[in-house]
């Protein structure tokens, strides 16, 4: 029986780099009997496979694409992480002649939350970091963001615990071995001629500076309130018209934000230690590269007070006008 490796992410665990790597090395992977299909692919990952699973509506054509093939398959999308148990069961029941191995990449919560909060702002979010963080901290045992064991448990119930593999993202990044560790997990040898992200500068979803994130968040609030603008539109316009914004005083606005930034140490919070204990007790045999975490990171967050600065308010108004007029 052949295998479908089902990589569910989650977000901010190297998924973009991994998917770009799979796409760039599609032919080399196929020579080892592993298909990274073009079907269902959008950008780098298989994001278009999520909705049929959510609707529990895989077509006969979809199923036929996988079932008769004498190959292993790899599907990867961080959007799979939002699916529920019933969607996973639909996948298992539909592909009844494939062994499905679920792959979950585990990143410590306090590291991941900061990155995901930034990503929500890029996609139109308006919450401050402290508000976003509190929403999860208030219910840590129910938050799949903080309690990785919740999603891993659901995957184990559907596909069998023996068919769940967990990659310790923090260990892989500390050892600079994310790609190599993932390849070992899907039972493929590392090849020296693989195309790697060093040759593809667009392969990584790079973090923005906190001053840019805060300004985009403020602009998201303005455009949501006055024009009901949602999604990535503000961020896209911000980056597209950055030269005009700089001419209008962006550097001065960033100085106001920077004056209200504080640094926080993360990595050894109670929620990190709790999750570490639960994951290693419940899934020790499933984590392929576990290393105890002793790393402490520094994150930079801005206090909300910067938006009350009169100069900042004027500059924000100018920026919003530039963005709106430039699109017309």
pLDDT in tens, 177-218: 999 999 999 999 999 899 987 655 555 556 789 999 999 999
**What are the residue ranges spanned by the domains of the chain?**
2-108+144-203, 210-260+303-327
CATH fold for domain 2-108+144-203: Rossmann fold (3.40.50)
> CA–CA distance from 212 to each of 247, 253, 278, 289 (Å)?
15, 10, 36, 35
d(CA 227, CA 323): 13
Confidence category of residue 111, pLDDT binned at 50, 70, 90: confident
Given a cut of 80, whether residue 29 has pLDDT beyond it is yes
- Of the candidates 218, 306, 294, 315, the residue with the CA atom closest to the CA atom of residue 262: 306
Task: Read off the pTM.
Answer: 0.85
Task: Give me 279's structure tokens.
Answer: 């994951």
Helices (H), the chain: 15-24, 26-31, 50-54, 60-66, 85-94, 109-122, 129-137, 148-159, 169-174, 178-185, 210-227, 233-240, 242-247, 250-258, 270-283, 310-327
d(CA 112, CA 271): 12
Confidence category of residue 293, pLDDT binned at 50, 70, 90: confident
């Amino acid at each position: 029986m052949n295998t479908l490796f089902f990589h569910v992410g989650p977000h901010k665990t190297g998924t973009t780099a991994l998917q770009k790597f799979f796409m760039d090395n599609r032919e080399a992977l196929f020579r080892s009997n592993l298909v990274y299909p073009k079907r269902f692919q959008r950008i780098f990952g298989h994001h278009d496979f999520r909705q049929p699973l959510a609707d529990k509506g895989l077509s006969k054509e979809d199923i036929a694409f996988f079932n008769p093939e004498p190959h292993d398959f790899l599907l990867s999308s961080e959007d799979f992480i939002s699916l529920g148990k019933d969607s996973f069961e639909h996948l298992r029941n539909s592909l009844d002649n494939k062994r499905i191995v679920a792959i979950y990449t585990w990143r410590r919560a306090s590291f991941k939350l900061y990155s995901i909060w930034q990503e929500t702002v890029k996609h139109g979010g308006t919450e401050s970091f402290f508000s976003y963080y509190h929403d999860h901290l208030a219910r840590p045992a129910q938050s799949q963001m903080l309690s990785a064991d919740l999603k891993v448990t659901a995957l184990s119930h559907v596909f069998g615990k023996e068919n769940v593999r967990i990659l310790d993202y923090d260990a892989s990044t500390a050892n600079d071995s994310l790609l190599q560790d993932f390849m070992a997990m899907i039972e493929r040898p590392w090849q020296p001629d693989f195309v790697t992200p060093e040759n593809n500068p667009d392969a990584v979803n790079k973090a923005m500076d906190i001053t840019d994130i805060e300004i985009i968040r403020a602009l998201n609030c303005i455009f949501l309130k006055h024009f009901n603008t949602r999604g990535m539109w503000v961020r896209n316009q911000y980056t597209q018209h950055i030269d005009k914004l700089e001419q209008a005083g962006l550097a001065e606005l960033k100085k106001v934000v920077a004056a209200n930034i504080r640094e926080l140490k993360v990595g050894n919070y109670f929620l990190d230690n709790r999750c570490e204990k639960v994951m290693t007790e419940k899934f020790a045999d499933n984590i392929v590269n576990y290393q105890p975490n002793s790393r402490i990171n520094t994150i930079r967050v801005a206090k909300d007070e910067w938006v009350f600065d009169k100069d900042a308010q004027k500059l924000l108004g100018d920026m919003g006008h530039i963005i709106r007029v430039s699109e017309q």
